[in-house]
């Protein structure tokens, strides 16, 4: 039971981190090269002149 609660607690923390990342400041761009580097499976695309974060 304790392991299940720990798993749920960890899952909530990681999901909240993704929400913070996706609701962050919009970064202007002209091409994908203007977007900051990331680590896979997360990457940026330049859409409507702003860097948008995507998860593969």
Q: Which residues contact 28 (CB under 8 A, 6 or more apart)?
A: 34, 49, 50, 51
Q: Is residue 36 part of a domain?
A: yes
E-assigned strand segments in the chain? 27-28, 42-47, 50-55
Six-digit token string for 26: 């919009």
Task: Reply yes or no on whether the pLDDT at 55 is more than 90.
Answer: no
pTM over 0.75: no
State the residue range of the domain holding 42: 25-56
- Long-range own/partner contacts, residues 42-50 (CB < 8 A, 24 or more apart): 50/26
Six-digit token string for 22: 């996706």
Q: Is residue 20 part of a domain?
A: no
| Per-residue pLDDT tens digits for 6-36 | 999 988 888 777 766 655 678 899 998 998 8
Site of tokens 């607690």? 9
Number of domains in the chain: 1
Q: Is residue 51 part of a domain?
A: yes
Q: Is residue 29 part of a domain?
A: yes
Q: Is residue 14 part of a domain?
A: no
């Amino acid at each position: 039971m304790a392991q299940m609660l720990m798993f749920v607690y960890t899952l909530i923390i990681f999901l909240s981190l993704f929400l913070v990342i996706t609701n962050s400041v919009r970064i202007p761009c002209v091409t994908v090269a203007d977007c900051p580097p990331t680590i896979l499976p997360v990457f940026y695309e330049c859409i409507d002149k702003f860097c948008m974060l995507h998860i593969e």
